[in-house]
Amino acid sequence: MRPRRTYIKAAKAPLLSVQGQNDIRVPQEQAQQVTDAIKAEGGVAEVVFYPAEGHGFAKREDQIDSLQRTIDWFDRYLRRTAR
């Protein structure tokens, strides 16, 4: 199922999606489709998939990496609007 363009067009906030490649709750294809659709509408979106991870991250290095990416994302997009 493709994301509805009506909702995608309404998206204004930059989107960062971090998830495991083996996530059964949010299939990789769906996360990629949403990311691609937001970009196609001129929005900002990034998706990062972690191999051998599910809905939550078990590997310490993936936990650290996803948290650092999130902090960097907030620094990039929230600090810009807070000034």
| Residue 6 banded pLDDT, cuts 50, 70, 90 | confident
pLDDT for position 7: 84
Contact between 77 and 14 (Cβ < 8 Å): yes
Handedness of CA 23, 34, 8, 6 (dihedral sign): negative
pLDDT for position 82: 55
Q: Which residues are CB-neighbours of 41 under 8 A, at least 6 positions away?
A: 5, 8, 9, 11
Contact between 47 and 17 (Cβ < 8 Å): yes
Range 48-73 average pLDDT: 97
CATH of 5-82, one of 3.40.50.720, 1.10.10.10, 3.40.50.150, 3.40.50.1820: 3.40.50.1820
Question: How far is residue 46's CA from residue 25's CA, in Å, rounded to a whole number?
Answer: 19
Q: Which pTM value belongs to this model? A: 0.83
- Per domain, the residue ranges of the chain are 5-82
